[in-house]
Chain A
Amino acid sequence: MAMHTPLKQTYNYAFLDEGSKKEIRRATLKAVAIPGYQVPFASREMPIGRGWGTGGLQLTLSLIGDGDTLKVIDQGNDDSVNAVSIKKLVQACTNVAVTTDAEQATLIQSRHRIPEVPIRADQILVFQVPIPEPLRFVEPKEKKSKHLHAEMDYSGIWLRLYEDIVKWGKISIGADYPALAHKRYIFAPSPIPRYDLPKLHQAEGLFLFGAGREKKIYAIPPYTDVEPLAFDDYPFEVEHFEGCSCRLCGSTDSFLDELYDEAAGQTFYQCSDTGYCRKCRERGAQHGK
């Protein structure tokens, strides 16, 4: 009898109700049709705090299902608290497998890094975005920055870059370096290092950006022009690690984090992409290094 069955309350598959998923999906489709344009969406309350990856998480949940393998990274790291919590949440409300191997994943949710191995055509990279508006530091009002995008009036941000050169002799923006998508919209690539920005240009994979707190979704489709803002005499430059190598795997061609050992008073370097670093070490062990 039904009255004897204990009430078991469960969430919908992939946590979000179908109406929410539909709304996120509709916004995502328009975002792909207009590269770099920020499509507003009705960001839902999530069981993690706003600013902790709710935009990326909502995109992931709107996409994920049978046959997917998920990887979640936080600044390249598979094992950080934020990444682990998001992975556990997604696992708890879906049936998908998780991995730390970027090449095994079909969906990768990331905070502030693009994996070292290029994203393939059968993979989607989802970014967690804190501030989706690249013009925010030159125009604090959303209503006005929206107009600036509509009119392609980007003189403010160019002036800011010029002032940087006057003041510091170079463009001082490190992470979240603004770029132009499909020769139309300036967009914020989320706080990835400059090192990662060229990976968005004419790439094989699809890149989706979700800003939960700011309620925006945008996209860079495959094979789309992404040009970092720069001047002819002050070209765009990525971070360099000349003479440095990862202390774990010995890589000299990956993005390295600088760490400081206070006890020994030593500075050392380590791969930021932990999944890549692990694979390098495994390969090294196989070759009897």
Chain B
Amino acid sequence: MTDTKSFHEVHDTRRVYRSLLDSMARPGKLHDLSPQMNSIPNAIPLFSGTYALGRTLLDAQTTFYLETENNEAASYLELRTGSRMLAAERADYLFIETQPSVDLIRTLMQQIRIGTLLEPEKSATLIIRVRALSDSETSGITMTLSGPGIKKRRTLSADGFNPEWLRIRAARNMEYPTGCDFILISDNGQMAALPRTTMIESEAV
């Protein structure tokens, strides 16, 4: 593949995966994806975080949904991964690159798959771009997390993350083990996951 400066199909996807796995295992813990994201050319019509995670997770067996302002983005991601863009209610992975309106968040969150009691793994993973992530209270919303993977409590602050996501997430994750899993990724490459098991108390700063 000659589509990237040096984003390596084998080794960079593996590094992204190990960060992702540790993020899922330790909700709210920050991981730095910037080394991998910086190896992606600026000219691509996608957010480099979408590209790094897309290349790691997507292939012809999977489907995605992409919320973006760039018209070429979806077909670019299809071409690079072999995956197909489908409507939100059928997608395995939803990449949200924009700051959607409250109405759009509600619509998307109502449409996504949350799996069934028999097959809870057939549920959507949302990859949401935010402005910044931090493990201390800064601007935006501060979340106090608890649940599997967290020793007592952990703090995660997200700037540019609409609290509406969390409100509807709580409703859709009501009947564990069904639910959806969130991955937050910031402009500068900080990543944190909020799997369905994580209990979140949030407040705006």
| Interface check A151, CB cutoff 8 A | yes
Q: Does A89 contact B (CB under 8 A)?
A: no
Most buried by B among A19, A121, A223: A223
Whether A19 lies near B59 (C-beta < 8 A) is yes
Interface hits, B57-114 → A, CB 8 Å: 57-62
Interface pair B25/A182, CB less than 8 Å apart: no
0/1 per residue, B168-205, Cβ < 8 Å to A?
A: 00000000110001000000000000011100000000
Residues of B near A25 (CB, < 8 A) are 17, 21, 56-57
On whether the beta carbons of B57 and A206 are closer than 8 Å, the reply is no
Q: Smallest distance from the beta carbon of A139 to chain B beta carbons, Å?
A: 15
Task: Determine the chain A residues whose CB is within 8 A of the CB of B197 once the complex forms.
Answer: 33-35, 182
Residues B13 and A18 in contact, CB atoms below 8 Å apart: yes
In the bound complex, what is the Cα–Cα distance between A31 and B22 (angstroms)?
A: 13
Q: Contacting A147 at CB < 8 Å: which of B17, B20, B118, B181?
A: B118
- B61: chain A residues at CB < 8 Å are 19, 23
B181 touches A223 (CB 8 A): no
B57 touches A22 (CB 8 A): yes
Contact B25 A32 (CB under 8 A): yes
Cα–Cα, bound, A19→B117 (Å): 28
A-contact bits for B1-40, CB 8 A (1 contact / 0 none): 0000000011101110110111011100000000000000
- Minimum Cβ distance to chain B for residue A224 (Å): 4
> Judging by beta carbons under 8 Å apart, are A33 and B195 in contact?
yes
B148 lies within 8 A of chain A by Cβ: yes
A162 at the interface (CB under 8 A from B): no
Please determine whether A222 and B149 come into contact, CB atoms closer than 8 angstroms: yes
B10 in contact with A33 (CB, 8 Å): no
B149 touches A65 (CB 8 A): no
In the complex formed, the residue of A with least CB distance to B8 is A13
Query: Considering the chains assembled together, what is the distance between the CA atoms of A199 and B125 in angstroms?
Result: 30
**B11 in contact with A224 (CB, 8 Å):** no
C-alpha spacing A237/B14, complex, angstroms: 40
Of all chain B residues, which has the CB nearest A66?
Answer: B11
Interface footprint category on B? 35 or more
Complex CA–CA separation, A177 to B128 (angstroms):
40
One digit per residue, 1 when the CB lies within 8 angstroms of any chain B CB and 0 when it does not, for chain A 196-220 equals: 0000001000100000000000010
A19–B60 CA distance with the chains assembled, in angstroms: 9
A52 at the interface (CB under 8 A from B): no
| Interface pair A37/B149, CB less than 8 Å apart | no
B120 sits at the interface (CB 8 A): yes
Interface size range of chain A in the complex: 35 or more
Query: Does B150 lie within 8 Å of A223, measured CB to CB?
Result: yes
B18 x A33 contact (CB < 8 A): no
B25, B150, B151: the one contacting A206 at CB < 8 Å is B25
Q: Report B131-158 residues with CB < 8 Å from chain A CB.
A: 148-151
**B9 to A, closest residue via Cβ:** A18
Taking a contact as CB atoms under 8 Å apart, the answer to whether A12 and B121 are in contact is no
Asked if A29 contacts B24 (CB within 8 A), the reply is yes
In the complex the two chains form, is B120's CB within 8 Å of A37's CB? yes
Which among A13, A26, A151, A184 has the greatest number of chain B C-beta atoms within 10 A? A26
Question: How far is A13 from B12 in the complex, measured between Cα atoms in Å?
Answer: 12
Contacts of A225 in B (CB 8 A): 148
- Please, how many angstroms separate the alpha-carbon atoms of A35 and B116 in the complex? 16
B176-A184 in contact (CB<8A): yes
Contact B196 A33 (CB under 8 A): yes
Q: When each residue 44-57 of chain A gets 1 if its CB lies under 8 Å from chain B and 0 otherwise, what string results?
A: 00000000000000
Say yes or no: B196 contacts A18, CB within 8 Å. no
Contact A37 B57 (CB under 8 A): no
Nearest-Cβ distance from residue B188 to partner chain A, whole angstroms: 23
B-chain residues with CB within 8 Å of residue A281 when the two chains form the complex: none
Name which residue of chain A comes closest to B24, CB basis. Answer: A32
Measured in the bound complex, the distance between the Cα atoms of B103 and A164 in whole Å is 57
CA distance A240 to B196 in the complex (A): 38
| Contact sample, A vs B, 10 pairs, CB 8 Å cutoff | A18-B9, A19-B59, A22-B59, A25-B57, A62-B17, A151-B117, A184-B177, A185-B177, A223-B148, A223-B149
The 9 closest A-B pairs by CB, nearest first: A33-B195, A30-B121, A150-B117, A224-B148, A221-B149, A32-B24, A150-B118, A206-B25, A221-B25
Given A32-B24, A223-B151, 15 more contacts at CB 8 Å?
A: A13-B10, A13-B11, A14-B10, A18-B9, A25-B21, A29-B20, A30-B123, A32-B21, A33-B197, A34-B121, A35-B148, A37-B177, A219-B25, A222-B149, A223-B149
A residues engaging B (CB < 8 A)? 12-14, 18-19, 21-23, 25-35, 37, 39-40, 62-63, 65-66, 121, 146-147, 150-151, 182, 184-185, 202, 206, 219, 221-225
